[in-house]
Amino acid sequence: MRRALAASAFIAPALAHELTSFGESGGQANFARLVAFTLAFLLVLLLTAFLGYRRTKSRGGGEVVWAIFPTVVVAVVGAMILMAALNFQPVGGARLKVEITGQRYWWAVRYPEREIVTAGELWVPVGERVELRATSRDVFYSLSIPGLGVKIDAVPGQTTRAWFTAKKAGIYGGRETEYVGPSTDKMRLRVFAIPQGDYQRLVTAIQNYAGPQPEGSAQRGEALFLARCAGCHTVRGTPARGATGPDLSLFRIRTTFGSGVWPNREDFLATWIANAPGMKPGVHMPAFPDLSPEDIQGLIAYLKTLGPTGVDLSRYGRLP
């Protein structure tokens, strides 16, 4: 019995390294482990104290038990600290780099080595180490992606870095955690962790895509877009070169818009184009009350031609 207790006291710290926030599994699972570990540790402490008390009462020799008891406690806590220290993620060593730029109220996303530009959604391969580089165009931001153990500040004029590896395929949600204005809660980032093969296909599809080829009502939409929207939005392969709003070159493959908030669906888009500030107070996109429903349908038809075909990111999971 005593041996089993002693053994458990030394095995417990080995579990403890999973509990720190430095690991990459993060989130809910950690909380369950933390509770289980705390209960187990408490049980060991109480049992040791109880056995010590009984032994003192029956045979004397309590000094020995009371010497062992604090020694074990100190050893266990020491081991936990050591495990946590060893579990610090080393910096560097990432092949894939992604730059994110915070601005009112969205995240621009750029892959410097691949010249891929998007917004609000970030695509990474499962199991590969990624270097996230953050900066800001206006105020201080602080992005938290609990599922990946990422908490990163974005500061104007500086680049901050964080490293992560998504171990499982799926969508990891990120949120702005500092108050930056009335739409703070609508500034999100979704990280899609995509199986390696699919990821390579996605990158190839994006790199082979030359630009939109609108037909029918989308052509009307394109003319309208170049006249009314191109001052703020870029579309690769067209004269649209604006930089106030997100680059829309790959808009078709996005599952969400408005910085990971609304599903990329016609009904939400129609409301957005007519009155973006109504959906996201404080946004730097004006309302367009003069556009007719046909104008808006044309613009949506055009938006649906932007990006490579045959890509479906929604199958990697959904976030509420």
Give the residues lining the site for ligand HEC (CB under 6 A). 105-106, 119-120, 225, 228-229, 231-233, 244-246, 257-259, 273, 280, 283-286, 288, 299, 303
3-state SS of the chain?
Answer: CHHHHHHHHHHHHHHHHHHCCCCCCCHHHHHHHHHHHHHHHHHHHHHHHHHHHHHHHHHCCHHHHHHHHHHHHHHHHHHHHHHHHHCCCCCCCCCEEEEEEEECCEEEEEECCCCEEEECEEEEECCCEEEEEEEECCCCEEEEEHHHCEEEEECECCCEEEEEECCCCEEEEEEECCCCCCCHHHCEEEEEEECHHHHHHHHHHHHHCCCCCCCCHHHHHHHHHHHHCCCCCECCCCCCECCCCCCCCCHHHCCEECCCCEECCHHHHHHHHHCHHHHCCCCCCCCCCCCCHHHHHHHHHHHCCCCCCCCCHHHHCCCC
Nearer to ligand HEC, 33 or 175 (CB): 175
Report in angstroms how near the CB of residue 155 gets to ligand HEC at its nearest. 19
| Residue placing its CB nearer to ligand HEC in the complex, 61 or 182 | 182
Cβ distance to ligand HEC smaller for residue 205 or 232: 232
CB of 105 to ligand HEC, least distance (A): 4
Q: Which is nearer to ligand HEC, 181 or 195 (CB)?
A: 181
Name the minimum Å distance from CB 227 to ligand HEC. 9
Q: Which of residues 26 and 120 has its CB atom nearest to ligand HEC in the complex?
A: 120
Contact 49, 9 (CB under 8 A): no
**Minimum distance from CB of 112 to ligand HEC (Å)?**
19
What's the half-sphere exposure (Cβ side, CA atoms, 13 Å) at 136? Answer: 16
The encoded tokens of residue 46 equal: 């109480």
Closest CB to ligand HEC among residues 16, 279: 279
Q: Which is nearer to ligand HEC, 159 or 244 (CB)?
A: 244
- Give the neighbor-by-neighbor strand order of the sheet with 121-125: 121-125, 188-194, 170-176, 141-145, 150-154
Nearer to ligand HEC, 95 or 265 (CB): 265
Supply the minimum distance, in Å, between the C-beta of residue 225 and ligand HEC: 6
Nearer CB in complex with ligand HEC: 84/232: 232
Euclidean distance between CA atoms 116 and 3, whole angstroms:
59
Q: How far is the CB of 236 from ligand HEC (least distance, A)?
A: 14
Q: How far is the CB of 21 from ligand HEC (least distance, A)?
A: 29
Nearest CA to 172 out of 115, 113, 132, 112 is that of 132
Q: How far is the CB of 273 from ligand HEC (least distance, A)?
A: 5
CB of 4 to ligand HEC, least distance (A): 57
